[in-house]
Amino acid sequence: MASGWAVDTGQDCPFRRHGRGDRGREFCYTNITMIHQYIQKCRAILDTVGQQESQIQQAARWFADSILAGRMVHVFGSGHSRIMVEEMWPRYGSFPGFNPIVELSLTFHNLVVGANGQRQAMFLENVPGLADRILRNYDLSAMDAALIISSSGCNVVPIEMAEIFQKHGVKVVALITKEHSEKSTSKRSDGKKLGDFADLILDTGAPVGDAMVTVPGLDTPVAPGSTVGGAVLVNCIKAEVARMLTEAGQPPKVLSAGAVVGPERAVELFEAAYDEHAHRLAKLYEKVGIASYVSTSDYHG
């Protein structure tokens, strides 16, 4: 029985294979049922995302407007939220116009413990003032847009980052798990959450605590869902932005596989996309620290 745990089959199990337990009772291996349960939960997440079509289109409109203006969409997430940042750009099927802000101290916790461990990362994402130090590197403009990802919406750094963006007139889209955020306590002293500094909120559709599968005999659920909802939302936005850019006469340079467009075209697209990213990013640095462009009282603290 190493492949799963056993239960009586008084109820029909749609995915089962039978055997005989120690007392001769029929049982089914229900590791497949756990798979079925997770997939069902993911289908519910897709339904939640689908119900946000108008919000997704609004986010895409703001992002497309920033890109068409020659500016960038700043995308930030700490901890595991960095997954959605990298899902937006750069990877196959994505295109320049997005500025992925992936702070190493907040996101590199693969070693779990020891140097660069999870404890340090979780501490740092709640240090007041760190968001200001990160954004001090950029010449922000009201023509920019921002996507801030935080499942709980309760950690200090993403909250402060959204607050700073709004002070600069930047439209902020918050990607959170609404149910989890509502039931969680903000780490910020005034109790405000990411949603309090968002012009638009998108919901991953995951449950409180993120984990979605209940295993009999285990008192804590497993298998989180916010990454599923977050990745779907990010790619829905991406697809809408691509449509808007194309219809505006500025089709994006999409990172594409050689198996799809041919090896030469793939190399051409990669080089052109990276060059465009560099040129857009350069604009975020060219006026940094110039008093006539950056307000020291409002920004440098």
Does residue 77 lie within any of the structural domains?
Answer: yes
pLDDT of residue 289: 84
pLDDT of residue 109: 82
For the residues of 102-134, what is the DSSP string, one character each? --HHHH--TT-SSTT-HHHHHHHTT-TTHHHHH
pLDDT of residue 95: 99
**Within 13 A of 56's CA, how many CA atoms are on the CB side?**
21
For residues 267 and 139, state if they share a domain: yes
**Is residue 26 pLDDT above 70, yes or no?**
no
**Is residue 295 pLDDT above 50, yes or no?**
no
56 vs 220: CA distance, rounded Å: 33
**Is residue 83 pLDDT above 50, yes or no?**
yes
**Within 13 A of 162's CA, how many CA atoms are on the CB side?**
27
Q: What is the pLDDT of residues 129-188, one digit of tens each?
A: 999 999 999 999 999 999 999 999 999 999 999 999 999 999 999 999 999 999 999 999
For residues 85 and 195, state if they share a domain: yes
Phi, psi (deg, nearest 5) at residue 38: -65, -45
Does residue 299 lie within any of the structural domains?
Answer: no
Phi, psi (deg, nearest 5) at residue 16: -150, 155
pTM of the model: 0.87
Q: What is the pLDDT of residues 88-121, one digit of tens each?
A: 999 999 999 999 999 999 998 889 999 989 999 9
CATH number for the domain that contains residue 160? 3.40.50.10490
Does residue 28 lie within any of the structural domains?
Answer: yes
Which domain covers residue 220, as residue numbers? Answer: 52-283
pLDDT of residue 31: 55
**Is residue 195 pLDDT above 70, yes or no?**
yes
Name the residue with tokens 């497309």: 64
pLDDT of residue 158: 98
